[in-house]
Structure 1
Amino acid sequence: MSSPPPKPVVGVGVFLLKGNKVLLGRRRTAVGYGTFALPGGHLEFGETFSECAAREVREETGLEINGAEFLRVTNTVLSQPKPTQLIAILMRASLADADQAAINAEPDKCDGWDWYDWDHLPTPLFPVLEAAVLQGLNPFPPK
């Protein structure tokens, strides 16, 4: 008897912006280990994208955000460590208080958070973020 094929996973990634910088953390989980990623995570049943964005940012970084605005959906298939199809809802948000500092609330999942200049992003990027960047996504609002 064979196992059923994997099902797509829906997640929300949040571009937290400060000046020309974006908040990224280096992943410690099996999927995307060692890559730099946005705060975010799995969409829970019944949640709106904005609710998921606020919850995940709070759980991972301790930061509070002002709403979240939809930017794009990505569809990324990864082969390692196991076949995974990630449907990522990418959102943009600002800090509720610009003086807040990110904490590493999940050290088993992330090495820590830091602000990176959009024009000089660290590498390697998490595949979902890398795909969005290669597609020309600019998370900053038009001036």
Structure 2
Amino acid sequence: MADDSFRPKVGVGVIIHDKAGNIVMGERAGSHGAGTFQCPGGHLEHGESFAQTAAREVLEETGLVVGDIKFLTATNDVFPEGKHYVTVFVTCVITGEDKVPKVSREPAPMEPHKCAKWEWVSWSTMWNWAKEQAQAEVEGREVQKRMFLPLVNLWREYPEMENALEGR
């Protein structure tokens, strides 16, 4: 019987956008990819849809309520640490009253051990960071703003998605 610990896991990357070309991003802390910029997201749980995972993870990580969740694409991500994920990317918008992502909420903390802060970044800026990192890795140089591997792979595998948020 095969060792299931070596099977790829499924992650859901959530691109929360404001219909003006901006997305929510934060710096990873504590887990694989620490120090890289990411979108909210997490593991697909047994029986969940991609949309259910996205809504749950966004609420857990940012305190935001999201809707209009749509499948975007998927990437195949093999991390240097030996982890392997299939990352399912979805897009969504904030539907709740709170419009500002939070790292903590009294009396219970959100997940500050996973992300120090959240901020709005333009999709085009994130896209350029991912492109720069992919090119720098080929050239053997470092970049100032390191991106989480699934976002770099999004650029590598789907460079035509530069305008992916238009009309969403």
TM-score by length of 2: 0.76
The residue aligned with 2:142 is none
Answer whether contact 2:64 2:98 (CA < 8 A) is retained. Answer: no
The residue aligned with 1:127 is 149
Answer whether contact 1:92 1:139 (CA < 8 A) is retained. Answer: no
User: RMSD of aligned C-alpha atoms?
Assistant: 1.9
Deviation for aligned residue 1:67:
3.1
Answer whether contact 1:9 1:86 (CA < 8 A) is retained. Answer: yes
Deviation for aligned residue 1:117:
1.4
Q: Work out which of the two has the higher radius of gyration on C-alpha atoms and give 1 or 2.
A: 2
Specify every segment of 5 or more residues in structure 1 that has no aligned partner in the other structure, as ranges: none
**2:73 and 2:118 mapped to 1: Cα distance?**
23
Which segment is superposed worse, 126-135 or 83-92?
126-135
The structure with the greater share of residues assigned to strand is 1
Deviation for aligned residue 1:141:
3.2
The residue aligned with 1:115 is 120
Which one scores higher on RCO, CA 8 angstroms, separation ≥ 6?
A: 1
Name the amino acid aligned to 1:52. Answer: T
Deviation for aligned residue 1:98:
7.0
**2:23 and 2:56 mapped to 1: Cα distance?**
18
The residue aligned with 1:41 is 42
**2:113 and 2:63 mapped to 1: Cα distance?**
15
How many aligned positions are there? Answer: 139
The residue aligned with 2:165 is 140
The structure with the greater share of residues assigned to helix is 2
Q: Residue deviations 1:57-90, cap 9 Å, x none?
A: 000000001131000011110122xx11110110
Matches within 5 A, 1:12-91: 12-18=12-18, 19-80=20-81, 83-91=82-90
Answer whether contact 1:57 1:63 (CA < 8 A) is retained. Answer: yes
Specify every segment of 5 or more residues in structure 2 that has no aligned partner in the other structure, as ranges: 104-109, 130-144
Which segment is superposed worse, 9-18 or 115-124?
115-124
